[in-house]
Structure 1
Amino acid sequence: MSTLRLRQKHRYKLPSEGNIMERIAYLGLGIMGSGMATNLLKAGYDVTVWNRNPESCKSLIEQGATQAQTPAQAVENAEVIIYSLADDQAVEDVVFGQDGILSKVRSGQIAIDTSTVHPDTSRKEAAAYAEKHVEFLDAPVFGSKNESASGGLWFVVGGKRDVFERVKPILSPLSETIHYLGDTGKGAAMKLVGNSLVATQIEALGEAMILATKAGLNPKDVLDVLHVVDFRSPLFDGIGKMLVNRDFTPSFALKHMLKDANLIARFAQDLNSPTPAAAIVRETLKVAVNQGWGEENASALIKALELEAGIIVES
């Protein structure tokens, strides 16, 4: 997405239109967070950034961001606080810990958690922020490195509807679409539902491509068919091409997919909801991570299936 399009998507409010929210704190500058923070800068926002590893802030500082030394310092002067963190424990540390976000928030601010966490974590955050008279949205995203960099993420949001409407102009430069799912925790729930589908699709693609290879089919010919049939999928296209090229460069790390699979298992158990396919995928993910592939792309789970099959899918 071009800088021009980003600026067109962000509509500045005139004073007569109500409160202007221009100062944003962005915490967590991994693959997802760095792309989102960059696009907020391109859209003209005043952005203060923080990351556990300060070196990750360097490129954003060069683009005009201000660097904070602690989460507390990052949020002091912000009107909106956005964070993208690795897991529930990271949220616990950054939000509730010493020099954490809650130690410096003030009435009237809005906090937005884009991390993939259990809905109970979102509800815990919302309750803690409410005590400080701070509004909260759980707003995880679908998409990975490329979508984050291009401003093409898909947001799923839980929280108060009026707060959601207020922050839509801020989320717009980061997203292709923004979906309101309901009260607090609903965005987090939708993210787990979606990630369960993603993991199951990757497992299904891996099983199918291994079967095709054992049957003597050319993997590229198989992908050509999968690209046009009625069960085609952009995920099959992207992951399939990476697989046959043996490219496992991470856009979403395998270790994070296992973390999400563990969250999904807990979430399903909480609701007594049957997820037999997801359970099988979780076991495949464990094998792949135990093989030492956790830092590779999530599609490396297929390598565990190849190991079991005694064959490699490649062009």
Structure 2
Amino acid sequence: MAHKIAFIGLGAMGGGMASRLLASGAAVTVYNRTRSRGEALAEEGAVLADTPAEAANGADVVFLSLATSEVVEALLFGPDGVVGGLPQGAIVADMSTVAPDFATSLQARLAETGHRGVDACVLGNAQHAKDGELRFMIGGTADDVTALEPVLEPLAKEIVHLGAGGMGATAKLALNLLMGVQMQALAEAIVFGERAGLDRGVLIKLIAAGGYSSPMMKFKAGAMARRAFEKADFRLKLMRKDLGLVLAECQRLGVPMPTTATSYDWLTAATNAGLGEHDVAALLAFMETVSGLEHYPRPGEAAA
């Protein structure tokens, strides 16, 4: 039986996933607070809803791809929220990066309203979403994950059920932690090498080709080389938010996180310097400023 899907949140990742689902033949209704983001999907065959409740009306599965837990809360339970239109027994799959205890409390609240919930966190970028090459890390009951798998198949390269609710969110934070500290280390390596007399372009090529580099570091090294900061694949302020969630969870667990804490501080400083809406690769621009490399344009200056 074909599933009716609602997709809430049409940023780079959400929009890519919704487009992929449409291409697979699924019936998809979409909602975004900035309505214009759904217009291209409407041209692909999506129904463009005016409220989350309208999008969820009659849906078997609702996907959420949102920036913060506060937005998730508002669009699920607020006025004209998802639960107001969602049929009993339907699944809410939250792909947003949130705290594990928020994920578990969300699923408990959904159970009280007669719905099912999982934290279905993803690894990948916007292109992976469009190509159906995402990796899913899911927390929830085995029955709910099994019911969700056929809907995820057009999107997924891999689906891993990690256990109870909150485990998907925990895994996502652990992996985003690695991204955050790598971005800081990459920016520092480039600035150090250039200040010591190395050619930046040559150094970046050495980093990208070297055994020390991860696929993510190679990808972001290219973005730094092109100074591709304005079109954010992963906004700097959201990277800061995610490391803040890690530190809060580790404080609860009594786990020291010295490297993560330092990366969070630099992300905070870069956000306060006005770079929060830029890609996390803009950490390089912030490091240039504090390191005395003043001949590079600040993000936005070249375009201006």
TM-score, normalised to structure 2, is 0.92
CA distance in 2, matches of 1:67, 1:241: 36
Residue number in structure 2 paired with 1:103: 84
Residue number in structure 2 paired with 1:84: 65
Q: Which range moved further: 259-268 or 30-39?
A: 259-268
Residue 21 (structure 1) shift: 4.5
Residue number in structure 1 paired with 2:302: none
Q: Secondary structure at the match of 2:154?
A: helix
Given that 1:105 and 1:132 are in contact with CA atoms closer than 8 Å, whether structure 2 keeps it comes out as no
Q: Secondary structure at the match of 1:139?
A: strand
Residue-by-residue CA offset, 1:239-259 (whole Å, 9 max, x unaligned): 112212222131111121122
Instruction: Indicate whether 1:28 and 2:9 are aligned.
Output: yes
Q: Taking every aligned residue pair, what percent have the same amino acid on both sides?
A: 36
Q: Which amino acid aligns with 2:238?
A: H
Q: Secondary structure at the match of 1:108?
A: coil
Structure 2 counterparts to residues 43-54 of structure 1, below 5 A: 43-54=24-35
Residue number in structure 1 paired with 2:266: 284
Instruction: Indicate whether 1:303 and 2:285 are aligned.
Output: yes
Residue number in structure 2 paired with 1:62: 43
Residues 165 and 239 of structure 1: is their aligned pair in 2 closer, same or farther, counting only changes over 3 Å? same
Given that 2:58 and 2:87 are in contact with CA atoms closer than 8 Å, whether structure 1 keeps it comes out as no
Residue 274 (structure 1) shift: 0.8
Residue number in structure 2 paired with 1:129: 110
Q: Secondary structure at the match of 1:181?
A: strand
CA distance in 1, matches of 2:13, 2:265: 26
Residue number in structure 1 paired with 2:205: 224
- Measured on the aligned residues, the alpha-carbon RMSD in Å equals 1.6
Residue 84 (structure 1) shift: 0.6
CA distance in 1, matches of 2:153, 2:212: 30
Q: Secondary structure at the match of 2:97?
A: coil
Runs of 4 or more above 6 Å deviation: none
Instruction: Indicate whether 1:250 and 2:199 are aligned.
Output: no
Unmatched tracts of structure 2, length 5 or more: 297-304
Number of aligned residues? 295
Given that 1:25 and 1:47 are in contact with CA atoms closer than 8 Å, whether structure 2 keeps it comes out as yes
Unmatched tracts of structure 1, length 5 or more: 1-19
